[in-house]
Amino acid sequence: MALRHAILAALSRGRPRTGYDLNASFNDVNDRAWHASPSQVYSELAKMEKLGLIDITERTERGRTSYVINDSGLDELRRWLLHDQPDHGIRDDAALRLLNLWVLDPADADYLLDAEVTFQRQRQFSLRHLLLSWDEEREDPDSPVWRSRRALYTLWLRQTDLMLDWLEELRTMLHDPVSPVPELLTGAIPAKI
Amino acid sequence: MALRHAILAALSRGRPRTGYDLNASFNDVNDRAWHASPSQVYSELAKMEKLGLIDITERTERGRTSYVINDSGLDELRRWLLHDQPDHGIRDDAALRLLNLWVLDPADADYLLDAEVTFQRQRQFSLRHLLLSWDEEREDPDSPVWRSRRALYTLWLRQTDLMLDWLEELRTMLHDPVSPVPELLTGAIPAKI
DNA sequence: CCCGTCATGTAATCTGTTACATGATTGG
DNA sequence: CCAATCATGTAACAGATTACATGACGGG
């Protein structure tokens, strides 16, 4: 149940947030580590409030409800980090597709490659924007919260760069049946670790 | 329902496979694009056979049942690749944790970083092994199937290299409160794309 | 006044996990 | 003979998606 911890993580930044706010970040492909659907977020917030992990700070005459994390929630976040095993189970739809391009004819494979390149370029653009615009919008750019966040954006940006290079090599490989498979960037490969 | 397509993908390599075989690959963290639990695989195989996407080639006196993909299954695989939108929804437990290291005291954060480094190094080692040993074990190393697979291993290996570098930078950042956040490898950042 | 966004939720369904049950075969 | 691995499945539960429903507010 990592959604619970993703919500605690988002609230641990301090300011009260509504289900709507949280959904905005959980649904932005470019600025998130965890995806969730709106209905899931609303029902999980209700559950968490009942369990006493988060508190309601404000409920406007209109439906808008704001939540903050409380001490019990922070304890749970720390417990999760330290005592629950990280889940390295991979479910990578994009990789699964790229692995199967060879069942298509070359024109179709190329079309799918283009689509993936486009997606990665958009992500690259968004991440660059997020990294460049932090100082204008955010509260304290030198707080641990934002330092961590910027570090993660940097990782993601490097990953999109890597992916875009690799996709071009893959395209070459698919076009030319005798070209070598993309080689390693790494130098000598030790026989043992 | 990407599990169905992950199974079709695995069977599309040609040879008959049993639920047990498939589970072995779906549960190996280092050699897979899609994770699934055993019971899920067995029941999905049964469903797919009823739907006529795969055929049973052999059922030994013992329970062992082997499946192959058929034309209808191959069509479905191609339809999925071309006409279903790739799901770029991210659920990255590891990233979520790294983003929240700052809620822990430095010693605990360091401990978690070590654990992640160890995991990535193991993955790096496995991937190197998979890339170096293909020619000894596999049937036709120059078939499109294995070329694609090696290309994907190469991508994953580069990603672990990138991750390990980044984790060390993150460690430095956490230790030293005034050190800069890891910077970009990329050169000039265009204002527009 | 209508449309888009804000804002929350319910119900049905599907997907995925966990715990359990069963039994054959293989190697020490 | 015992333990590990092979091999499959069921049942109960938890997690997640989809479709739908509701209604306020603001801008054109």
Mean pLDDT of chain A: 89
> How many domains is chain B partitioned into structurally?
2
pLDDT in tens, B44-69: 999 999 999 999 998 887 789 999 99
User: What's the pLDDT score for residue A48?
Assistant: 97
Task: Say what the pLDDT of residue A193 is.
Answer: 39
Q: How far apart are CA A147 and CA A135, in angstroms?
A: 11
Reference B176, options A146, A82, A77, A147; nearest CA is A147
- Contact, A99 vs B148, CB < 8 A? yes
Task: Determine, yes or no, domain membership for B50.
Answer: yes
- Residue B190, domain member (yes or no): no
| Residue B41 domain-assigned (yes or no) | yes
Residue type, A144: P
Is residue B9 included in any domain, yes or no? Answer: yes
The residues with which A99 forms a beta bridge, in sequence order, are none
- State whether B113 and B136 are in the same domain: yes
Domain identity same for B57 and B102 = no
- The pLDDT, as a whole number, for residue A148 is 92
B79-89: pLDDT as tens digits: 999 999 999 99
Tens of pLDDT, residue by residue over A127-174, are 999 888 765 555 677 888 889 999 999 999 999 999 999 999 999 999
Q: Do B96 and A33 touch (CB under 8 A)?
A: yes
Separation of CA B37 and C1' D11 in angstroms? 16
- If asked whether residues B129 and B153 sit together in one domain, one would say yes
CA distance between the termini of chain A = 34
Q: Which nucleotides of D are covered by protein (CB under 7 A)?
A: 6-11, 14-20, 23-25
Q: What is the DSSP string of B34-70?
A: B---HHHHHHHHHHHHHHTSEEEEEE-SSS-EEEEE-
Q: Are residues B142 and B70 in the same domain?
A: no
Whether B7 maps to a domain, the answer reads: yes
For residues A112 and A154, state if they share a domain.
yes
Do B22 and B103 share a domain, yes or no? no
Residues A100 and A119 in one domain: yes
Distance from C-alpha of A51 to C-alpha of A48, rounded to nearest angstrom: 5
Long-range contacts of B124-127 (CB under 8 A, 24+ apart): B124/A193, B124/B157, B124/B160, B124/B161, B124/B164, B125/A193, B126/B30, B126/B31, B127/B30, B127/B153, B127/B156, B127/B157, B127/B160
Of B149, B186, B189, the CB nearest to A99: B149
Which residues of chain B lie closer than 8 angstroms to A180, CB-CB? none
Final residue belonging to a domain, choices B23, B51, B83: B83
Identify protein residues whose C-beta is within 7 angstroms of any atom in strand C. A 18-21, 23, 38-39, 42-43, 45-46, 62-65, 89, 91; B 1-3, 35-40, 61-63
Q: Classify residue A28: in a domain, yes or no.
A: yes
Residue nearest to nucleotide D6 (CA to C1'): B20
Domain final position from A62, A83, A104: A83
Using the C1' atom of nucleotide C24, identify the protein residue whose alpha carbon is closest. Answer: B62
Same domain, A59 and A126: no
Residues A122, A140: one domain? yes
Ordered per-residue pLDDT tens for chain A, 193 residues: 799 999 999 999 989 999 999 999 999 988 889 999 999 999 999 999 999 999 999 888 778 999 999 999 999 999 999 999 999 999 999 999 999 999 999 999 999 999 999 999 999 999 999 888 765 555 677 888 889 999 999 999 999 999 999 999 999 999 886 666 666 544 444 444 3
Distance A60 CA to D25 C1' (A): 14
- Testing the interface with B: which of A102, A110, A122, A165 to mutate, by most B Cβ within 10 A? A102
B79 and B149 in a common domain: no
Residue A113 sits in the same domain as residue A44? no
pLDDT at B134: 63
Residues B65 and B28 in one domain: yes
CATH number of the domain enclosing A52: 1.10.10.10
- Note down the domain range covering B22: 3-83
A193 located within any domain:
no
Q: Of all nucleotides in the shown strands, which has a C1' nearest the CA of B1? A: C15
Q: pLDDT under 70 in chain B at which residues?
A: 134-139, 177-193
Residue with tokens 């929630």: A73
The pLDDT, as a whole number, for residue A61 is 74
Of B19, B53, B83, the one marking the end of a domain is: B83
Among protein residues, the one whose C-alpha sits closest to the C1' atom of C10 is A39
SS3 assignment for A92-139: CHHHHHHCCHHHCCHHHHHHHHHHHHHHHHHHHHHHHHHHHHHHHHCC
The distance (Å) linking the CA of B94 with the C1' of C28 is 41
